[in-house]
Structures are given as C-alpha cells and as structure tokens.
Amino acid sequence: MTIFLFTIAAVAGLTAAYWWFIGRNRPIVPPLNIADDDPLMLEAVEKARESITELRGHFVESAEHVQVKVPFVTSSGTTEFLWGELLAITAEDMEVKYLTPPVTHTGYLERIHRHPIGELRDWVYMKNPGNYQGGFSMRVMFIRGRELWGELPPNIKAEEANYGNISAQNSR
C-alpha cells in the first residue's frame, strides 16, 4: 500500500512539475509559421513601410497606443518577428521595448532595442478597440490561420474583432 501511495504521489508531483516548468509556458495556440515569400505577407510589410508617416502621426498623438513589429535573431539563430512598444522614432531608427517573448530563444533577453526604420515589419495603433489602424501582418495571420485551422481559436477571433472590417481594409 505504501508503494502504491508513493507512486501516486510521485506521478502527481511529476505532473505538477511538468505543468509548472513546461506546460504553463506553452502558447495556447502554436506559432503560425508563414513563408518568407508569402505574397499576402510581403504586401502587408510593404503597406506597413509605406504608411510610416501615419505611424508617426499616431505616435505623436498617443504613443502609449502604438506597437511595432520588428525582427529579432534568437540565440538559436532563428529570426522571429516580435511586437514591441514604440518608445521613440527618428528618421533613421526606432527604440522598441519587446512585448512578445521569442519562441526559440534561451538565456537573457534585453527588452529594449534600437532597430533601423528599414526593419519595420508592421505597426498597429490600438487606441480604439474595434477600429485598430495598421496591423497589416495581423490581418494576413487571421486569413492564414483560418486556412490552416478552418476556424480561428476563440482568443484570436476576439483579437480579430479589434481590426474592424478586415476585408474592406485589406482592399485599400
């Protein structure tokens, strides 16, 4: 009986340890991998870069509601695109505080970085829920997510609602 109770306690302990160290840190939805040459994503990046003037206007109006997406090379050598709070912007570069953790990085991560303007992948102005501005790559991710999963997970579908009428905005 003692061995049985010990086995039950050990399994429960291992399960709890797994959840604490590994399971709780896994994303609810696995990262959506989109090919570097995806035509919709290339168009989204172009739209983001072409609208830097609009980004600057939003930053001046309400900096705390502006986020940008920039590349980050992880400790594994993988380039991931992270969202960050835009702290400053000049004609040449941006100061960004990373908000999303990289998936393939281990070790210490300094959260504040400078990036050349040319590295901008996307931006979003989130002052008005239901009417976010920018977020061009997010709109593509909603489309590609539906293609992959058939239906968006509830948390992503709720996020999509912040972007208003996506089909109308993608055609502009």
Mean pLDDT of 1-11: 50
* Residue type, position 77, single letter: G
* pTM for this predicted structure: 0.77
The pLDDT confidence band at residue 9, using thresholds 50, 70 and 90, is very low
Higher pLDDT, 131 or 9: 131
* Interatomic CA distance for residues 100 and 81, integer angstroms: 9
